[in-house]
Structure 1
Amino acid sequence: MIDLWAPSAGLNVGPALMTAFMLGIVHGITPDEHTWPITYSYAIGGYSSRRGLVAGLSFSLAFTAQRALASELAYLALDRWFDASAHLNYIVYLVVGAAMWLGGRYIRGGRDLHLWRPRAGDPTALGADLRAPRPWMPLVHGFIAGWGVGAFALIIYTVLAPAMPGPALGWLPGALFGLGTTLVQAVSGALIGLVAQRIGLPADAIRRIALVTASRTLTWGGVVFVGGGLFGLLAPHWADASIATGLHIHNLAHLGLAFVLVMTVVMLIGIGSLVQQILYWQRHHH
């Protein structure tokens, strides 16, 4: 019997690996601060289903490589940092936030870009001269984000990795968890790219809208993540507060700082920017 909520120690290899893969799928579906904001940013910046798929795959495969490495370290009992997992998570927020901000800075070519309303006459308002994200950027983000430690990671490192019969297989639970996440993130990345492609505007307009949205999501999302990391390090008691939902689903069982980060970056900044840019284009160019 596979238990995705609280798998017990002493699992056989087969059930342990199946549990890891299924947990990865749940991780990809549920709102997670280590995956959703970055996947959305790069997928929308690809402005096509193919580029969105590549962005989702690139991020998730790098995430998978990190989880496989960390799983092996956990099997070898080199996981002492997990004793301060919350502290580590807030440090990861800082690093991820800085990387997001730099990614957004790259897309807009070093120019300032306002969060909602562009300045009158600003040629960057609709994405003029903005640059598409480089293929390696989601790879770097995926490897960095993978070091965040939450309920899923702790299950892998403390229950599933030790269930492996030897060090040669210690990396497998992390790898299968990452592949489960990859499956979901690749599909969602393609769908996000398809949405950008099907806006119903000229190709040049779609490109500009997508790049402005990606730039804003990365730039201001990075600021939000850095703020969340600082808040967690400076006021851990408040940052660890959460609301219990009664759901036995990780990422949904308790809603706290991580959920706030996801909703702020993806729903408010990301989707808000996309809608604002579409309306801006329609008002000024029709």
Structure 2
Amino acid sequence: MIDLWSPSAGMSVGMIIITSYLLGLVHGITPDEHTWPITFSYAVGSYSAKKGLIVGLIFSLSFTVQRSLMSEISYFALSKVFSLPYFNYIIYIIVGTAMALGGMYVFKFKNAFHVHFSKIDRSHHAAALKGEEYPDVQPPTPKMAIVHGFIAGFGFGAFALIIYTVLAPSMPNAYVGWVPGFFFGIGTATVQAIAGLLFGTITTHLKISREVASKISSLTAGRTLLWGGIVFVVAGIFGLTFPSIANFQITTPLHVHNLHSLGIEFVLVIVVVLVIGTGTLVREVRKAAKISVPSEDLHE
């Protein structure tokens, strides 16, 4: 019988592969700070169901490559440094920095912060509030998702602990030490690709003009990456400075990884995806919906 909560060593290669893949599915479905914020950002910014699926797949395949590499390293019991208590907080800072830089790219750097140093143009601000004007933005690129996917793969949690300390060392030889990490990544990619498709689809069905919807998609991606990245960096610094507080956990009755113990990881997902990302999308769509546009320019 497959045990996803606490699999034991000594399983057959077939069972290890199945267990790894199923763990990847759970990892992709449950709120994980190393996948959902980034998939959401790039998929929404793509303004396309097809591109959303592709970017979700690209990100998670890059994640898969990293997990395969770490799985191979773990076969030789060389991954102990990655399980150190403070390591995950260092990854938060690195991932957050990469996200913030991605957000600045979306805003074309000079427009990342909208600040006036001269006389305030009230009409300009009034138009912006109505959704008639948006910052000069551009959609994030798949290449950025590849970099973020590889960096995010270094995050260490319950899933990584199982892959690196139980499944990878149980492989028969070094030639297949990468297999558990690979199938774990493929399981994650299965879900994240579907999630990317759904996020991309949402932006194409907004009841506003296509031009405005496209700008709002990029704006949402930019803010999620920029401010979400800052939140990650702050969380990493806080974790390194006050580890006893940052390691808080709320236990739930759900016997599922990422849902049984809720801590800073869960908070990051909620803040970045729901508060910053979804909050921006909903707010900007409401603003834009107040603008009257020709009926033929609306989505069906």
Would you say same fold, with TM above 0.5? yes
The alignment status of 1:15 with 2:15, answered yes or no, reads yes
Q: Structure 1 stretches of 5 or more lacking a match?
A: none
Report the counterpart of residue 148 of structure 1 in structure 2.
155
CA distance, structure 1, for counterparts of residue 17 and residue 134 of structure 2: 45
Q: Secondary structure at the residue paired with 1:246? A: coil
Residue 80 of structure 1 deviates from its aligned partner by 2.3
**Structure 2 residue identity aligned to 1:166:** N
Q: CA deviation at 1:127?
A: 3.7
Q: 1:134 to 1:72 in 2, by over 3 A?
A: same
Is 1:105 aligned with 2:104? yes
Q: How many Å separate the matches in 2 of 1:6 and 1:126?
A: 53
- How many Å separate the matches in 1 of 2:67 and 2:29? 17
Q: How far apart are residue 247 of structure 1 and its match?
A: 1.5
Q: Counterparts of 1:170-189 in structure 2 under 5 Å?
A: 170-189=177-196
2:25 is matched with 25
CA deviation string 1:219-278 (max 9, x = no partner): 110011011101110000011111000221000011110000000000000100000110
Q: How many angstroms apart in 1 are the aligned matches of 2:133 and 2:284?
A: 7
How far 1:119 sits from its partner (Å)?
4.2
Report the 3-state secondary structure (helix = DSSP H, G, I; strand = E; otherwise coil) of the residue aligned with 1:279.
Answer: helix
Residues 132 and 288 in structure 2, CA contact (< 8 A), matched pair in contact too = no
Residues 1-286 of structure 1: pairs in structure 2 closer than 5 A: 1-84=1-84, 86-110=85-109, 111-113=111-113, 119-121=125-127, 126-285=133-292
Per the TM alignment, residue 200 of structure 1 is displaced from its structure 2 partner at its CA by 2.2
* Structure 1 segments (4+ residues) deviating >2 Å: 118-129, 283-286
Give the superposition deviation at 1:282: 1.6
- Is the Cα–Cα contact under 8 Å of residues 126 and 277 in structure 1 kept in the other structure? no
Distance 1:264 1:179 in 2: 27
Give the C-alpha shift of residue 122 in structure 1: 5.3
Distance 2:125 2:238 in 1: 32
TM-score of the aligned structures, taking structure 1 as reference length: 0.95
Superposition TM-score, scaled by structure 2 size: 0.90
Matched residue pairs, number?
A: 282
Cα displacement string for residues 49-86 of structure 1 (whole angstroms, at most 9, x for unaligned residues): 011011101100000000000000000121121341x3
Measure how far apart 1:132 and its partner are: 1.4
What's the CA shift for 1:202?
1.7
| Residue 112 (structure 1) shift | 3.0
CA RMSD of aligned residues (A): 1.7
3-state SS of the aligned residue for 1:183? helix
> Which segments of 5 or more consecutive residues in structure 2 lack a partner in the other structure?
115-123, 294-300
* CA positional deviation for 1:203: 1.4
Q: Is the 8 A contact 1:43 1:56 kept in 2?
A: yes
- The letter of the residue matching 2:112 is D
Residues 1:6 and 1:256: Cα distance change in structure 2 (over 3 Å): same
Secondary structure of 1:281's counterpart equals: helix
**Would the alpha carbon gap of residues 194 and 113 (structure 1) be closer, same or farther in structure 2, given more than 3 Å must change?**
farther
SS of residue paired to 2:155: coil
Give 3-state SS (helix, strand or coil) of 2:141's partner: coil
